[in-house]
Amino acid sequence: MDTKNDTFKRSTFNGLDQQEGEKTCKSSADNLESININDFEEEEYWRKTRKLLIIIVISSIILVLLIICAIIGILVPMQTKSNSFSVLNKDRDLPKTICNSTLYKDSCYSRIYSLKMSSSKNIGSNLESPKEIFMLSLQVTLNELMKLESSISQENDENDPITKNTLDACDHLIQDAIDNVNMSISSLQHDKLSTYDVSDIQTWLSTAITDQQMCLDGLMEFENVSLSLQEEMKTSMQNATEFTSNSLAIISNLFSIIQGPVYRKMLQVEENHFNLIGWKHRRLLEAEKVNLRPNLTVAKDSSGNYRTISEAVNVVPKRSNQRFFIYVKEGEYEEHMTIVSGSLNYADGVATYDSGTFIGRGFIARDIGFKNKAGLTKLQAVALRSSSDKSIFYRCYIDGYQDTLYTHTNRQYYRECIVTGTVDFILGNAAAVFQNCDLQPRQPGPGHKTSFKIQECSISTLGNFSACPFLGRPWNNYSTTIVMKMDIQGIIDPAGWITWEPDTIAPDTIFFAEYKNTGSGSALDQRVTWPGYRRSITEEEAEMFSVEHFIQGSQWINEENVKFDLRM
């Protein structure tokens, strides 16, 4: 109530007589009650108004915050899509974060940082991009491999022929490792990497690791090679091996973290980048009689360009992107190089690696045989070693005894081939798929146990056969083999698998499995009980070993060129 009005009312009341005062008092009391009610309603109105205003203000703030969050939610994925490496760019210590995925963390970080600081292109000392870090890791790897190759060349003045041959093989292997790292560096020049670029890099770095390990294995394979040389080479090789391993770990782990365009968008590239076997070459594999005009013809009767395959191979253009056709006329060509028949073997001082070789990328062999005539008593004697990435062997015959087919490295596909042998007659470190092949174990020597690695094939014996072969045995700690949809007859030992050395346990890190096999030899109740052996796997797990997922076959095996089953 207003103070001025209140005073006035009190003065008026005091100036009246009692009767008038009573009337006035009553009237004033009524007025006071009316005013109090109006004030209460007004106060209640303003109280509700203030509450409503507060609610409106708070709601507006929340709405603004929601809009801001929505904008951020849209912009962040867009930034990620614009650069598959941007997700990790804000990390304060990015090199250490990335190097934590490697086996050799300290050397990974120190050498990458050192190379960055010493680079003439260095601008500041920060490594801001995972792509830059991976590129530097590859450069460190390349530098170490080149040092190793130089060291091998300096050591190769040995008088002992076996040691010299072994070091020569090492030199070729390390040169191959250098080529694979260089290809990885070139592939990384793309603005964006597709999943197939990543698969290529992983394959090439895996091959580089295998090359180094094979060099070391070759040095230790013969007693003629001195222990001092073995240790010296092992020490020289340590850095190169570690940094190749680090680079492989980085590319393998980095893209499992960054869910960017590399997993969602294919890079737009030239047709032949993925489709290695283009439509122009489909007749090479699909036709019953090939009428293509060859670049060269080999014939023993001198009716072709050359009488030996070695001569023809020697004139093939180096590092060419064009396919080169060599037609070999019927006959047996006894040569050591890339074909057909030879007798180099362990007993005569030739390492397993160096017995017989095909290396060029994209190699295709059709309707031809490869044979090593060394025989049972000469131990390891490779008829065919393939190191060719994205190679195809179609309707080929590969004949030998121990270590017949050496699938050395890279991605390989075998279709409708026959492979014969005794001990470990299919071996190697390649990502190889065999479909509709016939594997024919020979009768081994006393005490030998046969083993092989197969997929989607059949088994039939060759000649008099009384042994009980095994499906395979793990060659190293991370051996991976799956036998699927195969007709396994009763000649297979019920245990199925055997360890590399007698009376030992297979490493827990292997992955051996069987999937939907048939035949009397496919029973699983007496199979081995290794931790790394799986008697059964899911369809999804089996799919990981299909032509599509395991060797990315849809990108380089054209269905019109050669039959293949893309999926399970």
**Is residue 424 annotated as part of the catalytic site, yes or no?**
yes
Tell me which DSSP letter residue 446 carries. T
Distance from C-alpha of 452 to C-alpha of 322, rounded to nearest angstrom: 35
Distance from C-alpha of 513 to C-alpha of 540, rounded to nearest angstrom: 13
3-state secondary structure of 328: strand
Distance from C-alpha of 53 to C-alpha of 405, rounded to nearest angstrom: 84
Burial (Cβ within 10 Å: 0-12, 13-18, ≥19) of residue 493: buried
The answer to whether the CB of 442 falls within 8 A of the CB of 435 is: no
Q: Assign residue 496 a region: left if phi > 0, alpha if psi is -120 to 50, beta otherwise? A: left
Amino acid at 225: V
The answer to whether the CB of 204 falls within 8 A of the CB of 140 is: no
Among residues 211, 354, 389, 403, the one annotated as catalytic is: 403
The dihedral sign for the CA sequence 216, 219, 223, 228: negative
Among residues 424, 438, 487, 525, the one annotated as catalytic is: 424
Distance from C-alpha of 452 to C-alpha of 469, rounded to nearest angstrom: 9
Distance from C-alpha of 412 to C-alpha of 362, rounded to nearest angstrom: 9
3-state secondary structure of 431: strand
**Is residue 508 annotated as part of the catalytic site, yes or no?**
no
The answer to whether the CB of 343 falls within 8 A of the CB of 374 is: yes
Burial (Cβ within 10 Å: 0-12, 13-18, ≥19) of residue 69: exposed
* Catalytic machinery residues: 403, 424
